Amino acid sequence: MLTMNEEKVQDRIRNAALVMVLLNAFATPLMLSAANVALPEIAKDLNIHAVMLSWIPMAYLMASATFVLIFGRLADMYGRKRLFMMGTSSVILTSLLAAAAPDGNILIFARFLQGVSAAMLYATQIAIISSIFPPQKRGRAIGLTVSMIYLGLTFGPVAGGFLIEFFGWRASFIFHVPLAIIVLLIGFFWVPGEWISEDAGAFDIRGAILYSVSIFCLCIGVSGLPELYALVSVMAGILGMTIFFNVARHTAEPIFDVKLFFTNKVFTRSSLASLMIYTATFANVVLVSLYLQYLKGMSPSSAGLFMMIQPLTMAVFSPFTGRLSDRIEPRIIASAGMLLTATGLTMLAVLNGVNSLPYLASALIITGMGFSLFSSPNVNAIMSSIEKRYYGSASGSIATMRVLGQMSSMMLVALVFALFIGQVEIVPENYALLQKAIQISFSIAAMLCLPGLYFSVARGKIHAP
């Protein structure tokens, strides 16, 4: 039993750790969304063609997807705070490298390193929250974390747009750095201690290599379709993932405990629903940015202001939906969100050069409302369906589904762009092809919500009757 003074100390540490996580949850997507607004300026300055341009966000996501599971397991073994602090430091250094990139190849490499750094954060944020908050308060804390992510996605395009217009695209890669430095100071001076799994176990090197190589092959393959080498790479990636799952099922301490997928229905279907909705929605920010700046002729700052509509809607509603999921079954709230998201994406699928901006704004609001109804309750369902000793792995799983979905979303865009636009610069003569590619991408995204809706509805209950 803790004394009153000990409880106050614990509350102080808990609040400091929450602020540390929330600031980082804001800063990382702030940079990510600002960089997406910068894509047309980067293409112009570095003479990058359409397919290579899609690799600037995809390199980041590929790296995050490749390493997030590895860092989730290492966080369980050596400390969630330690990995979180390493990730924050690395994001600062790799952001400076991206801002100084002299050409497209170096920029893509820097973005890959940024993704590796961000994977440390993705693998530990929810694990730290789940470690410091009891179950009855966890939904609210998760809702705040998700809300800060969306606030970062909201202000990134706006701040990035103005910075790009007045200081150039390189500024979009470094303006989040002061926030990251503050996070480091809070972690060092106000958050003592560490959170490590009670049963750390050994590191699964074989599983880590299988998973990483498979993800890499899938990304390289999809971006190069329909070339022969790309087909071989995709097949190798699918084969590698199949072997990975089979090996992980029979490994005592796997990099990713896939047994949860075969024994925990709520965990499995919530994870798959998350994968579907992120695949369907992540590329929105890139596609809308290209639509506004190329087809509507907007400046980066004006496009940034418009693009804040969807993430701002998410940021406003996510804390409420997270708190609501502490009392109402998450599957009910999340399934309604999936349906609403599909509606918004269907509206976006008919975008053309003559659509009114109020129509686009309505579609973004509906999509944002749907995603905010889905996200926090879904995370709460996952974390509430497992034992405490799996928090690190589950946090890694949440991040993996999110990043795999985000990466799949950009892979989809890269594939559509490769098939319908090709390796040419986006100039007025190619605007009709760009419009068609955007419409096809949104149409596929809307259809992906249908299996997501099934997984969400069929997940089962987490609240006791």
Structure tokens at 342: 């599909």
| pLDDT tens digits, 203-231 | 889 989 998 899 888 878 876 767 788 88
DSSP of 286-340: HHHHHIIIIIS---HHHHHHHHTHHHHHHHHHHHHHHHHTTTS-HHHHHHHHHHH
Angle among Cα 407, 408, 411 to the nearest 5 degrees reads 85
pLDDT at 130 over 90: no
What is each CA distance from 291 to 283, 369, 464, in whole angstroms?
Answer: 12, 21, 47
Question: Which region among 37-41, 196-200, 322-326, 343-347 has the lowest average model confidence (pLDDT)?
Answer: 196-200
3-class DSSP assignment, residue 124: coil
Structure tokens at 116: 């590796």
pLDDT at 2 over 60: no
Averaged pLDDT of the chain: 84
**Confidence grade of residue 95 (pLDDT, cut at 50, 70, 90):** very high
**Confidence grade of residue 21 (pLDDT, cut at 50, 70, 90):** very high
Peptide bond into 226 cis (omega under 30): yes
pLDDT at 392 over 80: no
pLDDT at 11 over 90: no
In the prediction, which pLDDT does 185 show? 93
**Confidence grade of residue 393 (pLDDT, cut at 50, 70, 90):** low
pLDDT at 289 over 60: yes
- Give the number of other CB atoms < 10 A from CB of residue 192: 12
In the prediction, which pLDDT does 465 show? 54
Structure tokens at 311: 């993430």
Average pLDDT over residues 305-328: 79
Angle among Cα 301, 304, 307 to the nearest 5 degrees reads 155
DSSP of 225-240: TTSHHHHHHHHHHHHH
**Structure pTM?**
0.76
In the prediction, which pLDDT does 280 show? 92
Structure tokens at 398: 């949440």
Average pLDDT over residues 184-196: 86
What is each CA distance from 314 to 154, 327, 343, 367, 369, in whole angstroms?
Answer: 9, 20, 16, 9, 6
Angstrom distance (rounded) from CA 16 to CA 392: 20
Residue 246 makes CB contacts below 8 A (sequence gap 6+) with none
What is each CA distance from 89 to 19, 83, 85, 125, in whole angstroms?
Answer: 17, 10, 6, 15
- Give the number of other CB atoms < 10 A from CB of residue 156: 30
Decide which of 184 and 283 is more confident: 184
In the prediction, which pLDDT does 389 show? 67
pLDDT at 1 over 70: no
Tell me the one-letter amino acid at 137. Answer: K
Angstrom distance (rounded) from CA 410 to CA 292: 18
pLDDT at 318 over 80: no
3-class DSSP assignment, residue 52: helix
In the prediction, which pLDDT does 447 show? 94
| pLDDT tens digits, 356-376 | 888 999 999 999 999 988 987
Angle among Cα 383, 384, 385 to the nearest 5 degrees reads 95
Cα diameter, the chain: 72
In the prediction, which pLDDT does 343 show? 95
